[in-house]
Chain A
């Protein structure tokens, strides 16, 4: 069964550094998402991406965050200058046609630790 893959599984970075989290969504999907989960808290929406542009973003997704689909298969989340509070699990997800029968499928996440 096709799946969403994310790399790396764990990233440790120092405060103020830039990080790029990578995702390969399911190949025929059209919608791409990033969510995050701080330890012990709810899964929170960050951003959705469709047709090469952001379709929706949350208040969390400020100017420090950006997303890109650099080629036909990858989808990346960049955090420009990491803060301690950015430490969380970051999940990439994708969904299909957007016509109704399109539940989100998630990857196994990247655990980001900011020290």
Chain B
């Protein structure tokens, strides 16, 4: 079983729709969870950073962590064509520790 699994997509939605992304993981030692956005040929850009189970909201983005199910989600409200990118989940066991990435989900928001 892979440590972090993420559906590769592509996920195609109309502009204004809610984008729902998720990752599952197998290692219960993961404590910190991140979502990154990556445009083609660019570096991962940090969107959300969470610790422990629960919800965190920042503008149009909401991150959810359910440690009991080993499942994390990212929701993007009122999606825009500029949100078209690959979204990567990543997690680590402790601050300063290496990140383990999912394979990324490609999202396409159509005008």
Chain A contacts to B: CB under 8 angstroms:
4, 6, 30-31, 33, 35, 41-45, 48, 50, 55-56, 58, 89, 91, 95, 97-109, 111
Contact = CB atoms under 8 A, between A and B. Distances in A.
Interface in B57-89: 88
B111 interface: no
B45 interface: yes
Nearest to A44: B101
A63 B98 CA distance: 20
A95 B95 contact: yes
B109 interface: no
Interface residues on chain B, size class = 20 to 34
A106 B98 CA distance: 13
Contacts of B51: 100
B43 A106 contact: yes
A106 B104 contact: no
Contact of B103 (A33, A42, A97): A42
B43 A108 contact: yes
B101 A56 contact: no
B42 A31 contact: no
A44 B46 CA distance: 16
Nearest to B92: A104
Contacts of B102: 42
Contacts of B101: 42-44
A101 B50 CA distance: 9
A100 B34 CA distance: 13
A50 B44 contact: no
B49 A91 contact: no
B100 interface: yes
Contacts of B18: none
